[in-house]
């Protein structure tokens, strides 16, 4: 028996999930990630995705992990950039402390 090229969506019950390869946009930890070339069953009604094999599930997750790592490192970079100009007051305070320590050591 040949498999039908449509299947029912387990999520919303729509009868017309279509098999194919697509780029999938999903929200992970509040970030919209786009996973490329995902093979599986796609529901046009609710966007549900069913993997056709453990391999496609694994490659999907690998891309998600890589994208999350990438996102975290770009986030860290932009944080560093934002922090640098505002370091002023605290570095001034730090140098003030260093100065008072220096004064004390010259006094003694």
Which residues form the interface with Zn ion (CB under 5 A)?
A: 9, 11-12, 14, 43, 45-46, 48
* Nearer to Zn ion (CB atom), residue 24 or residue 43: 43
Strand partners, 28: 31
* Nearer to Zn ion (CB atom), residue 43 or residue 67: 43
Residue 56: phi and psi, rounded to 5, are: -70, -30
* Nearer to Zn ion (CB atom), residue 11 or residue 22: 11
Q: Shortest approach of Zn ion to residue 70 CB, angstroms?
A: 29
Q: Shortest approach of Zn ion to residue 5 CB, angstroms?
A: 16
Q: Which two tokens stand for residue 83?
A: 């922090």
Answer for the pair 95, 73: CB distance below 8 angstroms, yes or no. Answer: no
Q: Shortest approach of Zn ion to residue 49 CB, angstroms?
A: 9
Q: Shortest approach of Zn ion to residue 88 CB, angstroms?
A: 53
Segment holding 37, helix H or strand E: strand 31-42
* Nearer to Zn ion (CB atom), residue 27 or residue 105: 27
Residue 43: phi and psi, rounded to 5, are: -95, 125
CA distance 38 to 30: 21
């Amino acid at each position: 028996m040949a498999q039908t090229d449509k299947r029912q969506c387990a999520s919303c019950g729509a009868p017309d999930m279509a098999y194919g390869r697509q780029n999938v946009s999903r929200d992970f930890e509040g970030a919209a990630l786009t996973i490329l070339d995902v093979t599986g069953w796609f529901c046009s009604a609710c966007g549900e995705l069913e993997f056709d094999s453990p391999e496609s599930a694994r490659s999907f997750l690998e891309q998600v992990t890589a994208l999350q790592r990438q996102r975290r490192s770009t986030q860290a970079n932009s944080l560093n950039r934002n922090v640098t100009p505002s370091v002023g007051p605290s570095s001034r305070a730090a140098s003030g402390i260093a100065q008072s320590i220096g004064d004390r050591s010259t006094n003694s």
